[in-house]
A and B are shown apart, each in its own frame.
Chain A
């Protein structure tokens, strides 16, 4: 029989060890379908590592992929810290991208110094406003934000498709449902020549530090932590719980919106309905892997990004579907959730209990 015995607070070292063990377990579990696909597991993972770290190009591609994951990961982490279950980062990302395109394709003109901040603010605002509705519904009427944020993802994606087929369709786009290209002045500059890596990564890293600072050092952060850890005690102590939820909702949505800005203004240059391969949802995995720590989000995003980029590369080399990446990421989430059990409980197998024989 298995017994669970509660254990004390986890040390940082044990948390790290368990998280890494979860990631390794995910890779081991994902090896099973690789083997079924008739591939050598070591070859496959070797190709994946090469695909993510094997060259400067591979490495910068991985970092490019990590940038939006950091931002959506932060969006989830900051919301989850306050126990505001924002599952809608995907929709907020598209809302941010849509706003960036709306502002950055000629609505206003000016130098980069004006246009880039304008595009970013527009995207962050749009993402935040999308999250405002579910937050107010939760605080005012007690509507479950998991449902509202999740369903809004589809509403927003369909709205984006409508805009791309209609008013925002690029007349020069050969009939493809895509927006006009973003102005050069509004585009985020590249970080390196001939590589796709752009300033979105810097924005993401700065956001990570910003969220860390907010949570650790400010009154608002104090209130977010208090509400998240024990909303009832926070309310009793006079902390404005509703206002805190609204702040967190706006911030979370804004971070996801910024991820969308980075993708259109830094990478693609125009908006399509397949802008995000599920960055919003992967952000939840990133946040959980990181234990909701804003700095940990960066590391977790790098891990997830290397799996995505590595799996793409392996898939091209071997013909094994790159759905494998989704599989590994999903496994990683499951392993991390299960690993929480190991952090909170000591698990003992009892079958050899000495008093057992005497019991009969």
Chain B
């Protein structure tokens, strides 16, 4: 490890980093080297400690043990002051967070220069800064219009601004946290091409991911974190998909192969639905869900999926169009009416819309049926019955919690999702709306979600699966439709589609262009 010849190339070293939050060890003695010109993928499931580690690196957290060393100009390594983002910036560490840290109402140039200019300068000239940036853009291929306001930029462009921000500060190490989460497949390809160019220029890059495909395609080396510890650190060339997946999960895994459904009659029909304003609005959406099928809806985040889910959930009244379930019209139905009509809704933001963190697991399991006789009598809650039912559901859905009375907030994302699944699917709904049901979940919880959705389909329910994960859609859906700028394409059988076609449609090219 202390081989001086090797050290010359090292731009960043994490040495025995340990970070505890109460009883939880988020990082346990993690050591990591990053060399000049190297792309290192940091792979791990949710909660494996990837983001914590990078937050320590960037000074958002202070490690309980261990130290961070950065390459100095004199080819040595020096300790980085812990807990100081400004020290990290000064040492040439740039970070692109999953949620961008840009001021929406300022121009791209303003955002890039923010914090680099003197507070009080007699003369403020931005010409040199602009020249430097134009040079950077030309070399890296990261082009953005510097004078455009951030709010007018697309997600991909915002990400480019973030990267430019780091490069402008002469970053020698760039960390990207889940950079492809918000991009189309094509945008992701462009991003990785750029990253490779930057690496060839000598930048050290770390990208955090849980997507095996992009790790295999675009990194030189992979470090796998599991339960806060580094379980593998090896050249990407020596890895394959299965090996990485097993390292990440810690046991052998079996892929769920797609089993076709047996679609029946039309069940749930949206016709000409328009709703909302602005970016997330829907324009004349037609959708015909049959019983016994999973209908996938693909699209880049922010193209109307959220509004579509809200309309189907009964949270938003469409401005035109109609919704029918079998014989009954649900166009202006409330959330209550939707539930009572046999719609299960799995919200995309499970922490925000799915559970009430301060209330107990048992209460969260009962919340949709709180006014049903099984949970109340004369307006008084039937605690014993609620707890009994909760215990059954906790067992049936393998919800890991201390007890039915512990606050739902304390559960992991996967277990929170299991609460939502348990309370919505247990009533054997006719229609299931699953919005981003596996987003942010680990492999185990994801396959549980998939199993439950397939089970619902197999007993004859119609399932609408809104997802940004093409692999998930291809694996589960019987038909797939694409949503772009609030328009929903006609659904086509999954067999007739491939990733390339879907990717183009997600980017707004219509079916004829793609053909």
Contacts and interface: CB of A to CB of B under 8 A. Distances in A.
**A and B: partners?**
yes
B132 interface: no
A13 interface: no
B370 A222 contact: yes
B22 A8 contact: yes
Nearest to B82: A355
Interface string B326-344: 0000000011101110000
A108 B449 CA distance: 66
A238 B357 contact: no
Nearest to B366: A222
Contact of B370 (A8, A223, A236): A223
A221 B363 CA distance: 12
B379 A236 contact: no
B370 A229 contact: no
Interface string B354-374: 111111000100011011000
A230 B350 CA distance: 12
A236 B353 contact: yes
Given A219-B376, A239-B370, A229 B356 contact: yes
Given A223-B370, A237-B368, A355-B79, A229 B335 contact: no
A261 to B, nearest CB: 26
Contacts of B195: none
Nearest to A236: B353
A139 to B, nearest CB: 14
Most buried by B among A1, A237, A355: A237
Interface in A218-237: 218-223, 225-226, 229-230, 232-237
A9 B339 contact: no
Interface in A321-360: 350, 353, 355-356, 358-359
Nearest to B355: A233
Q: Chain A contact residues: over half helix, strand or loop, or mixed?
A: helix
B347 A219 contact: no
Nearest to B24: A8
Contacts of B359: 225-226, 229
B22 A236 contact: no
Contacts, number: 98
Contacts of A355: 67, 79, 81-82
Contacts of A219: 370-371, 375-376, 379-381
B370 A233 contact: no
Interface string A2-27: 01001111000000000000000000
B514 interface: no
Most buried by B among A217, A222, A238: A238
B16 interface: no
Contacts of A350: 62, 83
A7 B22 contact: yes
A212 to B, nearest CB: 14
Interface in B71-91: 79-83, 87
Given A230-B357, A353-B62, A238 B79 contact: no
A6 B409 CA distance: 14
B487 interface: no
B477 interface: no
Nearest to A348: B62
B345 interface: yes
Nearest to B358: A229
B26 to A, nearest CB: 12
A216 to B, nearest CB: 8
Q: Chain B contact residues: over half helix, strand or loop, or mixed?
A: mixed
A226 B353 CA distance: 11
A236 B314 CA distance: 8
B313 interface: yes
Interface residues of A, number: 32
Contacts of A232: 352-353
A234 B379 CA distance: 18
B335 A222 contact: no
A240 interface: yes
B269 interface: no
B455 interface: no
Contact of B79 (A220, A240, A358): A358
Interface in A229-286: 229-230, 232-240
B126 to A, nearest CB: 33
B182 to A, nearest CB: 22
B192 to A, nearest CB: 35
B153 interface: no
B315 interface: yes
A237 to B, nearest CB: 4
A350 B339 CA distance: 52
B62 A3 contact: yes
Interface residues on B, range: 35 or more
Interface string B204-239: 000000000000000000000000000000000000
Contacts of A230: 352, 355-358
Contacts of A238: 314, 334-336, 338-340, 368
A223 B249 CA distance: 39
B345 A236 contact: yes
A226 B356 contact: yes
B47 interface: no
Interface string B50-72: 00000000000010000100000
Given A222-B370, A230-B357, A353-B62, A217 B380 contact: yes
B313 A236 contact: yes
Nearest to A356: B81
Contacts of A239: 336, 367, 370
B80 A359 contact: yes
Most buried by B among A8, A222, A223, A353: A222
B344 to A, nearest CB: 12
A331 to B, nearest CB: 29
Contacts of A3: 62, 83
B62 A359 contact: no
A225 B367 CA distance: 11
Nearest to B367: A237
B334 to A, nearest CB: 7
B4 to A, nearest CB: 20
B407 interface: yes
B300 to A, nearest CB: 24
A217 to B, nearest CB: 6
A209 to B, nearest CB: 15
A6 B22 CA distance: 10
A315 B339 CA distance: 62
A6 B375 CA distance: 35
Interface string A37-66: 000000000000000000000000000000
Given A229-B357, A236-B345, A238-B368, A9 B62 contact: no
B511 interface: no
A226 B340 CA distance: 19
B13 to A, nearest CB: 14
A359 B190 CA distance: 38
Contact of A236 (B21, B335, B407): B335
A163 B80 CA distance: 72
A65 B6 CA distance: 78
Given A9-B410, A350-B83, A353-B82, A236 B315 contact: yes
B380 A218 contact: yes
A211 B360 CA distance: 20
B337 to A, nearest CB: 8
24 contacts: A217-B381, A218-B381, A219-B376, A220-B379, A222-B370, A225-B356, A225-B358, A229-B357, A229-B359, A230-B355, A232-B353, A233-B354, A235-B315, A236-B313, A236-B353, A236-B354, A237-B335, A237-B339, A238-B336, A239-B336, A240-B336, A353-B83, A355-B79, A358-B79
Minimum-distance CB pairs A-B, first 5 = A359-B81, A238-B336, A229-B358, A230-B356, A236-B353
Given A6-B21, A240-B336, A356-B82, 10 more contacts: A3-B62, A220-B379, A222-B381, A226-B367, A230-B356, A230-B357, A238-B339, A355-B67, A355-B81, A359-B79
